Amino acid sequence: MISEDILQDAVHALKEGHPVVFPTETVYGIGIAASKKKHSGMIYDLKGREETKPLSLHIGDLDLLNGSQIYFPRVNYFLMHRFWPGPLTLVIKKRSGEKMGYRFPSHKIFRRLVEMLGEPVLATSANKSGQAPALSLAKAREYFGEAVSVYLEGGTPEFQGASTVLDTSQYPPAWIREGARAKEIRAALEEFEAMGFLKKKILIACSGNTCRSPMAEGWLRKYLQEKGWSDSFEVHSAGTAALAGLPPSQEAIEVMEEEHIDISQKRARLIHRELIQESNIIFVMTAGHKDTILEQVSDAENKVHILDIPDPVGMDREQYRKTFELIRERILKEMTWLLKS
């Protein structure tokens, strides 16, 4: 085991804004203290790496994840539980809209370093850009020499290859790099997908299911996708007096096209008892729609929420635009309880 004195030297260097080379279970890494982000240019210079390629935030404890700053869709919790600490990097969307890679290495020396430092490390693999990551301390020294003042010896990495990288800011997650344990991670994602019945089901209802509810359905699906929450919710729409098979009105299609949302393939369907019963949350446009639903399922009272949106049928596209904006405003106001329900 490495001495505490050498670890203290590494902590001191990091606190001064200097890079340190350290072991992980995949490859050796090079990083700086997260609070010294302004010094990250040194790592790019040492590697000859383009600054458009971001560093990943390496944590040594889950308590170092700032949950108030990042979104946690359900798939993240699932993957963290299965593969952290370990060779999986998750690209997560921050509440600022920025994406960042998060890594929780299992190597005991790295975890002890972060424990002593008291904060995460912004890091990447220890190598020159375009060359193989260092699998030994000797190779890291060959790459960086005396330009790095502290090197932490951690033996030969367990996996001897890069971590797997998944972008979970979207659903399904996008594969950025298939690395260590990729086969197991892929199988776990298939298992997670098979658990889709655990998603909360949102039903949006109007009368004919050709304008208000299709616009709301299309927008809410896109919103949840952008926020990284589409693995937690399914969104559907129906009408209390719908003629099954009718397409959305042309005005509704055009208004949603302005939002880069295609609802043209949506077809109307009549609301029915089973659809009501299997839905966790139901948005309706008027009190009349709620009454119709409760006539079919009397105990659905607590999950039906009235948006109070007038019907734009027969009006021009500008009125449809105003209707959509009102729908978006009303649903956004409900998001706090929606995501906690």
Which residues are annotated as catalytic? 206, 212, 311
Which H or E element spans position 22?
strand 20-23
* Percent helix / strand / coil, the chain, rounded to 5: 45, 20, 40
Residues 6+ away with beta carbon under 8 Å from 42? 18, 19, 32
Structure tokens given for 73? 């869709």
**Residues 214, 263: contact at Cβ < 8 Å?**
yes
Structure tokens given for 217? 């359905």
203 DSSP β-pair partners: 236, 282
32 DSSP β-pair partners: 122
One DSSP character per residue, 99-141 reads: EEEEE----HHHHHHHHHHTS-EEEEESS-TTSPPPSSHHHHH
C-alpha 325/C-alpha 44 separation (Å) is: 45
C-alpha 47/C-alpha 30 separation (Å) is: 10
